[in-house]
């Protein structure tokens, strides 16, 4: 991850200062690139003009459509466009003019819900019409079939170009509608186009009582030719679509599980998720409403029985569901991003709180916009190697001039796409990578792969493969690089800027009448940049703690606790002995298995001479750094006091007094045991406080130590228990804390002494006894369970014959 401050100041200012030049170069390259595409479409019409021309034409046919509602859209045919593009421009010139790959569709609806339909070319030339559902009265005698066919033939021959094309074609009656007053017959002529024999033209007209009610010309590419010619492209796009679909399902499932887990921890805000879903729904519905005409025309022209209102209600519910899922996905991954990348959401939090002119937001906007300028230049340089695909890649853009509010679509598509892409391509992949990928160097490649899968949404417009690759090579870095350099808001701004500038420039080239709207949109964008530049230089810089949501404080508190626990774990690792000392005649094994990463238990060994060993074990009274501090103080005191204080009881009293004077509470909460063992004579004496830690000495004849309580000491709440024993060769000493004792009790009704005595008789080898002890309580050393409810600490010492080397298994459970 690169920090902005790590980059030399001169390089940063060069990067920012040259960004406008990079943007200008990108725009000029894009205009040049698109204008050099010989198949680039030029839109001369717009919504208002297309509706006016279509209305006049319908009225001229005798349909009183002056006050009718009008719906307008542009309908591209990607397969037909790819077909014409794959052929020389001098072939099929007439077919290209009569049946262009993009047509303007205008539908009129009367107050009685009757419809009249007109199709036009982008040059505003009427191509066909259908007024069968307009309710036009057709008076006159019923015609015979021959008369109706002649009327249909006359309609075909009224255009000399069609007459020449279909001169040898035989008409077919595709449908007949009979009523008492009229008979409507629909005739269709079909003919292959030469030399484009893979293309078929079909002229359809309907006649009722001598009146022509519809005439439509449609071009269809042979499906087998499409599959054969564009198979590789379609297969690649199909794979991309399939990968995108599976990825979306995976994100939804993983987000649901993660959101539930976060909710149980109190680390998500349901109200924030709901508000985010509402805002996203507004974005989605705004885009949907700008395309209302297209949906209405599609349903009306197909004579679907489903009402348009029902369709839009269903679409609204789908949009609300998608917005809710996206918001849940963001809420589920937000916590992990906050934990792994502190400060990366501070600017977004400030924006959500309405602090638009804060330095946080201003810096993110300026950094995101700067990166976008360079990525736009990168995009255009890459597209120079894909010359000739511009028209195909932007084919769906011809709809914009015919939308009800194209400016609204422009303003909403960018934020909506950026939010979805940021959630699916960045936030959720980061959350997954941080939680499940332990090797940091693999996280960014995994996130980049997920971002690539998230770009699969663009294949719905059937772009060229080269365009899809360019989209991936630009959009993925535009999303990821600003995040790792600065933060999430910079990433979103970068993506929105790339999308906005590309669309505005393209539509300006496509549609000559777009200039005024493009000017106002550009003006709004520039004023926003000026405002955020001022915020960047003069605005207040809010700290993350001041703007983060309330539930994020729970994450911060948990992180602080985990940091404390981690520090205490490191302290415990360093304070526990790495290995027991070498005392001839003793075989020693010891372990401390901590509960929930770190515990308060502790043990240590203090050699008093070549044959005498001091053994210390403590039962923790708390966890975290306080426990580690107590352990450190105790170990520091014992390293010196064990040589001076000969009595275990006196040492315990002096240790408690010393710790009590240093600790803030003045109270020592841990219970401890200290024993002195003479390896030469076998003499053992010890003292302990509380119920645990315990010490058990076993021999072949049973438990052999003797214990008694020391007389009451003023000021003490817990009694001190003293004990002594004579340890012979083969006898075993086991010291353990309450965690081990509780595990023993849960697995057997026999006393701890009897349990240990039985294990000692069954295992003559010290290591076997030690491992069996932990295995028998369900905590095998080799598979340490770090989710224990309490620490498991035990020391196993056996007196052996001769000069046997001391053995160790110390710290296996901690390390």
Q: What is the mean pLDDT of residues 556-584?
A: 71
Token digits for 115? 């419809």
Query: What are the tokens at 567?
Result: 């520090």
Question: Which of the pair, 31 or 529, is modelled with greater confidence?
Answer: 529
Q: What percent of the chain has pLDDT over 70?
A: 84
CA neighbor of 604 nearest in space, from 630, 579, 568: 579
DSSP state string for 42-71: -B---HHHHHHHHHHHHHHTT---TTSEEE
Q: If you search the block for the tokens 């804060």, which residue do you land on?
A: 358
Listed residue (419, 448, 443, 416) closest to 431, CA to CA:
443
Rg (CA), the chain: 41
Specify the pLDDT at position 670.
Answer: 73
pLDDT of 598 higher than 60? no
Grade residue 87 by pLDDT with cuts at 50, 70 and 90.
confident
Helix (H, G, I), strand (E, B) or coil at 698: strand
Q: What is the pLDDT of residue 495?
A: 94
Identify the pLDDT of residue 596: 59
Q: Tokens 């699969």 — which residue? A: 456
**Residues 233-240: contacts with CB under 8 Å, at least 24 apart:** 233/464, 233/465, 236/465, 236/468, 237/459, 237/462, 237/463, 237/465, 237/468, 240/456, 240/459, 240/468
The span from the CA of 243 to the CA of 549, in Å, is 35
User: Is the confidence at residue 564, as pLDDT, over 70?
Assistant: no
As a whole-number percent, the residues of the chain with pLDDT over 90 amount to 29
Strand, helix or coil for residue 106: strand
331-345 mean pLDDT = 89
Instruction: Work out whether strand 183-192 and strand 706-709 pair parallel, antiparallel, or are unpaired.
Output: unpaired
Instruction: Tell me which H or E stretch contains 26.
Output: helix 19-35
From the list 389, 77, 83, the residue with the least C-alpha distance to 225 is: 83
Global pTM?
0.72
**Residue 647, C-beta contacts closer than 8 angstroms, at least 6 positions apart:** 687
Query: Which is higher by pLDDT, 296 or 465?
Result: 296
Which tokens hold the place of 348? 């977004």
What tokens were used for 312?
């839009």
Poorest-confidence range of 265-269, 556-560, 741-745? 556-560
What is the Cα–Cα distance from 494 to 545, expressed in whole angstroms? 25
**Structure-token pair, residue 376:** 């736009």
Per-residue pLDDT at 446: 94
pLDDT digits over 142-195, tens only? 778 888 889 999 999 999 999 988 988 889 987 777 665 677 889 999 999 888
- Cβ-count burial 294-304 (b if 16+ within 10 Å, e if not): bbbbbbbbeee
Distance CA 647, CA 654 (A): 11
Nearest to 697 by CA among 710, 682, 708: 682
The answer to whether residues 688 and 672 touch, using CB atoms and an 8 Å cutoff, is: yes
Can you read off the two tokens belonging to residue 130? 């259908």
Closest Cα to residue 269, out of 317, 342, 330, 351? Answer: 330
| Alpha carbon 154 to chain centroid, angstroms | 62
* Selected residue with higher pLDDT from 626 and 697: 697
Contact 762, 752 (CB under 8 A): no
The phi and psi torsions of 607 (rounded to 5 degrees) equal -65, 125
Mean of all residue pLDDT scores within the chain = 83
Which token pair is 539?
Answer: 């605005």
Q: Which residue has the tokens 């405002």?
A: 531
What pLDDT does residue 221 have?
A: 92
DSSP strand pairing (586-593 vs 612-619): unpaired
C-alpha distances in Å from residue 552, one per residue of 170, 545, 600: 74, 9, 29
Cα separations (Å) of 323 from 248, 252, 328, 487, 797?
A: 13, 12, 9, 23, 65
- The span from the CA of 114 to the CA of 17, in Å, is 60
Residues 6+ apart with CB under 8 A from 260: none
> Do 808 and 756 meet the contact criterion of CB atoms below 8 Å apart?
no
Sheet holding 602-607, edge to edge: 602-607, 612-619, 671-678, 683-689, 720-726, 706-709
Contact 101, 392 (CB under 8 A): no
pLDDT at 715 over 80: no
Q: Work out the pLDDT band at 810, boundaries 50, 70, 90.
A: very low
- Residue 393: the pLDDT is 64
Q: Count other C-beta atoms under 10 Å from residue 581's C-beta.
A: 14
Please give the full DSSP string across 563-632, using - where no structure is assigned: HHHHHHHHHHHHHS-SS----TTEEEEEEEE-STT--S-EEEEEE-SSSEEEEEEEE-SS-SHHHHHHHH
Give the DSSP letter of residue 423: I
Q: Which two tokens stand for residue 437?
A: 């990928």
Nearest to 625 by CA among 580, 675, 575, 579: 575
Question: Both tokens of residue 585?
Answer: 């005649």
CA distance 594 to 787: 9
Question: So where are the chain's domains?
Answer: 8-36+239-548, 47-227, 565-799
Which H or E run contains 707? strand 706-709
CA atoms of 672 and 668, how far apart (whole Å): 10
Quick check: 576 pLDDT over 60?
yes
Name the least confident of 153-157, 447-451, 562-566, 601-605: 562-566
Higher local confidence (pLDDT), 502 or 621: 502
CA distance linking residue 687 with residue 701, whole number of Å: 23
Query: Is 70 exceeded by the pLDDT of residue 566?
Result: no
Average pLDDT over residues 477-499: 94
Alpha-carbon distances of 312 from 72, 316, 320, 361, 523, rounded to whole Å:
17, 6, 12, 37, 34
Length of the chain in terms of residues written = 815
Angle between helices 270-290 and 308-340 (to 10 degrees): 140
Choose from 63-67, 504-508, 665-669 the range with maximum mean pLDDT: 63-67
Distance CA 174, CA 615 (A): 102
Position 524 pLDDT exceeds 60? yes
CB 377 within 8 A of CB 472: no
- For tokens 């001479």, the residue is 609
Report the interhelical angle of 443-454 vs 465-485 (nearest 10°): 140
Residue 64, token pair as written in the block: 């009183």
Q: Which pLDDT belongs to residue 36?
A: 72
pLDDT higher than threshold 60 for residue 812 = no
Tokens of 552: 């994020």
* Top-confidence residue, 688 or 746: 688
Q: Which fold has domain 565-799?
A: Phosphatase 2c; domain 1 (3.60.40)
pLDDT at 554: 65
Condensed to tens digits (0 to 9), the pLDDT of residues 393-444 reads: 667 788 888 988 888 887 888 899 899 999 999 999 999 999 899 888 899 9
| Helices vs. strands in the chain: H and E counts, helices first | 28, 19
pLDDT of residue 13: 84
Contact 112, 99 (CB under 8 A): no
Q: Is the per-residue pLDDT at 785 higher than 50?
A: no
- Give every CB contact of residue 483 below 8 A, 6+ residues apart in sequence: 344, 426, 490, 491
Q: What is the pLDDT of residues 604-617, one digit of tens each?
A: 898 888 888 999 98
Whether pLDDT at 137 is above 70: no
Would you say residue 488 has pLDDT above 70?
yes
Give the H or E element holding residue 504: helix 488-510
- For residue 660, count other CB atoms closer than 10 A to its CB: 13
- For residue 634, give both structure tokens: 């105790």
What digits encode the pLDDT tens for the residues 99-110?
999 999 999 999
């Amino acid at each position: 991850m690169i920090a902005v401050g790590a980059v030399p100041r001169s390089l940063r200012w060069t990067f920012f200062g040259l960004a406008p030049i990079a943007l200008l170069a990108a725009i000029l390259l894009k205009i040049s690139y698109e204008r050099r595409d010989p198949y680039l479409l030029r839109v001369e019409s717009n919504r208002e003009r297309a509706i006016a021309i279509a209305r006049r034409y319908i009225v001229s046919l005798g349909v009183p459509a002056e006050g009718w509602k009008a719906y307008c859209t542009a309908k591209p045919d990607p397969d037909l466009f790819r077909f014409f593009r794959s052929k020389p421009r001098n072939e099929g010139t007439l077919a290209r003019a009569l049946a262009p790959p993009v047509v303007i569709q205008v539908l009129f609806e009367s107050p009685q819900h009757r419809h009249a339909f007109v199709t036009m070319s982008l040059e505003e030339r009427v191509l066909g019409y259908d007024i069968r559902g307009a309710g036009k009265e057709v008076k006159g005698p019923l015609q015979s079939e021959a008369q109706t066919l002649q009327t249909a033939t006359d309609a075909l021959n009224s255009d000399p170009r069609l007459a020449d094309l279909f001169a040898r074609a035989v008409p077919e009656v595709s449908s007949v509608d009979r009523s008492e007053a009229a008979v409507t017959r629909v005739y269709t002529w079909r003919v292959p186009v030469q030399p484009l024999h893979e293309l078929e033209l079909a002229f359809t007209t309907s006649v009722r009582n001598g009146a022509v009610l519809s005439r439509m010309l449609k071009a269809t590419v042979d499906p087998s030719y499409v599959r054969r010619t564009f198979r590789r492209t379609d297969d690649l796009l199909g794979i991309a679509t399939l990968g995108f679909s599976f990825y979306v399902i995976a994100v939804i499932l993983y987000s649901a599980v993660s959101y539930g887990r976060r909710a149980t921890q109190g680390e998500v805000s349901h109200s924030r998720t709901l508000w985010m879903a509402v805002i996203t729904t507004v974005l989605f519905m705004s885009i949907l409403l700008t395309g209302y005409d297209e949906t209405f025309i599609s349903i009306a022209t197909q004579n679907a029985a489903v009402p348009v209102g029902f369709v839009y209600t269903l679409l609204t519910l789908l949009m609300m569901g998608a917005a809710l899922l996206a918001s849940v996905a963001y809420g589920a991954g937000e916590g992990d991003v906050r934990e792994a990348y502190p400060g990366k959401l501070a600017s977004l939090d400030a924006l959500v709180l309405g602090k638009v002119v804060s330095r946080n937001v201003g810096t993110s906007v300026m950094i995101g916009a700067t990166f976008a300028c360079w990525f736009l230049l990168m995009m255009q340089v890459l597209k120079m190697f894909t010359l000739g695909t511009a028209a195909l890649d932007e084919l769906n853009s011809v709809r914009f001039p015919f939308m009800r509010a194209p400016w609204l679509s422009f303003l909403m598509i960018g934020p909506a796409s950026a939010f979805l892409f940021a959630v699916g391509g960045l936030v959720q992949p980061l959350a997954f990578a941080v939680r499940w990928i332990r090797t940091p160097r693999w996280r960014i490649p995994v996130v980049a792969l997920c971002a690539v899968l998230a770009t699969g949404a663009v294949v719905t417009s059937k772009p060229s493969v080269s365009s899809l690759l360019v989209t991936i090579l630009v959009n993925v870095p535009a999303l990821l690089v600003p995040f790792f350099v600065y933060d999430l808001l910079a990433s979103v701004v970068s993506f929105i800027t790339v999308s906005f500038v590309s669309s505005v420039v393209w539509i300006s080239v496509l549609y000559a009448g777009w200039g005024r709207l493009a000017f106002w949109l550009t003006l709004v964008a520039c004023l926003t940049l000026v405002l955020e530049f001022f915020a960047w230089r003069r605005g207040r810089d809010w700290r993350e703690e001041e703007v983060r949501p309330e539930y994020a404080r729970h994450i911060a508190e948990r992180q602080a606790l985990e940091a404390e626990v981690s520090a205490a774990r490191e302290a415990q690792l360093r304070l526990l002995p790495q290995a027991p000392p070498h005392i001839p005649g003793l075989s020693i094994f010891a372990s401390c298995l901590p509960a929930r990463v770190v515990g308060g238990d502790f043990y240590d060994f203090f050699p008093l001479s070549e044959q005498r060993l001091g053994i210390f074990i403590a039962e923790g009274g708390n966890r975290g750094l306080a426990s580690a501090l107590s352990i450190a103080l105790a170990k520091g005191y014992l390293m010196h006091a064990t040589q001076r204080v000969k009595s275990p009881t006196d040492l315990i009293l002096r240790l408690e007094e010393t710790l009590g004077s240093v600790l803030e509470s003045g109270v020592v909460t841990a219970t401890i045991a200290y024993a002195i063992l003479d390896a030469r004579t076998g003499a053992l004496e010890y003292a302990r406080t509380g119920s645990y830690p315990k010490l058990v000495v076993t021999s072949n004849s049973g438990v052999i130590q003797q214990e008694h309580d020391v007389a009451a000491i003023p000021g003490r709440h817990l009694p001190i228990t003293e004990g002594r024993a004579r340890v012979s060769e083969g006898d075993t000493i086991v010291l353990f804390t309450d965690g081990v004792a509780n595990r023993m009790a849960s697995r057997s009704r026999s006393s701890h002494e009897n349990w240990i005595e039985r294990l000692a008789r069954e295992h003559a080898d010290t290591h076997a006894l030690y491992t069996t002890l932990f295995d028998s309580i369900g905590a095998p050393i080799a598979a340490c369970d770090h989710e224990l409810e309490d620490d498991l600490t035990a020391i196993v010492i056996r007196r052996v014959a001769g000069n046997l080397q001391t053995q160790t298994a110390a710290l296996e459970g901690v390390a």
